[in-house]
């Protein structure tokens, strides 16, 4: 006999990951799986036999998914923030060995315990807003040992906190000082040591790169993607963030799950993404924090039907902003997404950006029961207002799990 718990939410206003339902809906969950999603008025008494009724009103969305973060790192970069406000340029700081490399120094010096403790408040803030799945990248180690250390911290997050984690190896984030002038040798280290070790230890689901003048070339990123494919790992890229190198089109040709930032993406890149089904992950926090002015080509992405995700990019240099709801608001105000597009961006499309769209991000029969119930009247309010806590219930795999 199946003893799985049965829970029903009745009369909810439902945003199911793709669209908002006009009629009040009922969502029935058995164990960790969604069983039925029907109009509340069509549900018979008999269908509720054996179900605990959890709520009779509220707005329901899928559990929120933050599909691009660097939430595990050492130290902070408040001094760099001050320097930038006085006129220093992000790329210039990076070229002088600051920026990402200053976080690398602080991350190498930190223990796993310290890195976990430092990430905890950021993770709690995200969970308190309804995040049930988070992607976590390495990328502040830039040597084999520290990259694996970061991925082990990501694994510990999954083991100890009520949140799903999709871990990503970002060895090709920046050139570490010990490889100065030898970037091809560093790429060989990423391809021949980091990727095989992360794959072997099952510490990463995907491999990411930073394709940019201050990081790695399109050809170097392509080598990384080929190595990832040899080891059965998915790929994604930080592309076209600060300039247009064509990294997005190359990543799309290799079947990337997503390309992220993409402020400088051109039409050829958009067309390549449409052809490969690659998700466009928008990171309005980094755009805002760097006071960028070049916006991602939203109209072209819509025209070509490229799915758009929205994420925090939580990191110490360009987006120290641990709020997925603020990102949704910024996606609307800065990039002119509609609230519905922004909601898709942190649910169904974010799941797709992680290769998890078959299980997560949508409220439909057979999907995992990761759900949020909100004290608002309509889903658009989640993008519209920011600040007051509005999350009433956070459900992970069918269980009420507050942000621990
Ligand atoms: N682009 C970003 O915005 C982050 N990484 C990347 O490739 C920022 C990394 C940092 O400045 O620490
Ligand atoms: Fe990033």
**E strand spans, 303-404:** 308-310, 371-374, 391-396, 399-400
247 pocket-lining for ligand 1 (C-beta < 6 Å): no
Is 166 in a helix, a strand, or coil?
Answer: strand
Q: Sheet harboring 131-137: ordered strands across?
A: 64-66, 131-137, 164-172, 206-211, 234-239, 258-261, 279-282, 308-310
Q: What percent of the chain has pLDDT over 90?
A: 97
Q: pLDDT tens track of the chain, all 404 residues? A: 456 899 999 999 999 999 999 999 999 999 999 999 999 999 998 999 999 999 999 999 999 999 999 999 999 999 999 999 999 999 999 988 899 999 999 999 999 999 999 999 999 999 999 999 999 999 999 999 999 999 999 999 999 999 999 999 999 999 999 999 999 999 999 999 999 999 999 999 999 999 999 999 999 999 999 999 999 999 999 999 999 999 999 999 999 999 999 999 999 999 999 999 999 999 999 999 999 999 999 999 999 999 999 999 999 999 999 999 999 999 999 999 999 999 999 999 999 999 999 999 999 999 999 999 999 999 999 999 999 999 999 999 999 997 65
Query: For atom 4 of ligand 1, which residue has the closest CA?
Result: 318
Q: What DSSP assignment string belongs to 124-158? A: HHHHHTTEEEEEEE--S--SHHHHHHHHHHHHHHH
- 69 Cα to the center of ligand 1, angstroms: 10
Residue 3, pLDDT score: 64
318 pocket-lining for ligand 1 (C-beta < 6 Å): yes
* Closest to 214 (Cα-Cα) out of 100, 129, 293: 100
What protein residues have CB closer than 5 angstroms to ion ligand 2?
313
* Closest to 207 (Cα-Cα) out of 247, 159, 244, 256: 256
- Count the neighbouring beta carbons within 10 Å of the beta carbon of residue 159: 8
236 pocket-lining for ligand 1 (C-beta < 6 Å): no
Query: For atom 11 of ligand 1, which residue has the closest CA?
Result: 317
Residue 176, pLDDT score: 97
Among 100, 224, 236, 281, name the best residue to mutate to test ligand 1's pocket (greatest count of ligand atoms within 8 A of Cβ). 100
pLDDT in tens, 277-320: 999 999 999 999 999 999 999 999 999 999 999 999 999 999 99
68 pocket-lining for ligand 1 (C-beta < 6 Å): no
Residue 403, pLDDT score: 63
Query: For atom 1 of ligand 1, which residue has the closest CA?
Result: 238
Taking the CA of 209 as reference, the closest ligand is 1
Residue 404, pLDDT score: 55
* Closest to 35 (Cα-Cα) out of 400, 364, 361, 372: 364
For residues 381 and 13, give the distance between their C-alpha atoms in angstroms, rounded to a whole number: 12
Task: Establish how many alpha carbons lie within 13 A of residue 220's alpha carbon, considering only the half-sphere containing its beta carbon.
Answer: 26
For residues 364 and 372, give the distance between their C-alpha atoms in angstroms, rounded to a whole number: 14
Residue 1, pLDDT score: 42
245 pocket-lining for ligand 1 (C-beta < 6 Å): no
Q: What is the pTM of this model?
A: 0.98
316 pocket-lining for ligand 1 (C-beta < 6 Å): yes
């Amino acid at each position: 006999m199946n003893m799985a718990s049965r829970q029903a939410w009745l009369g909810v206003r439902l945003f199911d990951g793709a669209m908002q339902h006009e009629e009040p809906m009922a969502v029935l969950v058995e164990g960790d799986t969604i069983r039925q999603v029907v109009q509340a008025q069509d549900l018979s008494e008999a269908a509720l036999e054996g179900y605990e009724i959890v709520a009779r009103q509220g707005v329901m969305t899928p559990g929120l998914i933050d599909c691009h973060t660097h939430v595990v790192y050492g130290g902070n970069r408040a001094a760099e923030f001050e320097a930038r406000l006085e006129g220093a340029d992000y790329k210039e700081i990076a070229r002088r060995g600051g920026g990402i490399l200053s976080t690398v120094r602080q991350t190498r010096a930190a223990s796993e315990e310290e890195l976990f403790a430092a990430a905890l408040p950021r993770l709690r803030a995200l969970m308190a807003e309804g995040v049930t799945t988070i992607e976590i990248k390495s990328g502040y180690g830039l040597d084999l040992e520290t990259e694996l250390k970061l991925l082990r911290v990501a694994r510990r997050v999954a083991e100890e906190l009520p949140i799903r984690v999709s871990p990503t190896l970002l060895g090709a984030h920046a050139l570490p000082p010990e490889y100065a002038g030898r970037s091809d040798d560093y790429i060989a280290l990423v391809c021949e040591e980091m990727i095989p070790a992360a794959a072997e230890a099952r510490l990463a689901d995907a491999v990411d790169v930073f394709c940019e003048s201050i990081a790695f070339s399109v050809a170097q990123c392509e080598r990384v993607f080929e190595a990832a494919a040899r080891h059965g790992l998915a790929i994604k890229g930080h592309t076209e963030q600060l300039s247009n190198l064509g990294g997005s089109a190359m990543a799309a040709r290799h079947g990337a799950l997503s390309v992220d930032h993409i402020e400088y993406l051109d039409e050829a890149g958009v067309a390549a993404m449409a052809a490969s089904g690659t998700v466009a992950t928008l990171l309005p926090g980094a755009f805002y924090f760097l006071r960028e002015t070049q916006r991602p080509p939203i109209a072209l992405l819509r025209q070509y039907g490229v799915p758009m995700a929205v994420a925090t990019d939580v990191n110490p240099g360009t987006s120290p902003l641990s709020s997925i709801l603020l990102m949704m608001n910024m996606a609307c105000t800065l990039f002119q997404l509609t609230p519905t597009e922004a909601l898709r961006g942190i649910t169904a499309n974010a799941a797709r950006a992680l290769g998890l769209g078959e299980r997560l991000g949508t409220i439909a029969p057979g999907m995992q029961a990761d759900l949020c119930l909100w004290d608002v009247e309509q889903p658009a309010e989640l993008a519209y207002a920011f600040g007051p806590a509005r999350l009433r219930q956070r459900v992970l795999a069918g269980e009420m799990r507050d942000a621990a």
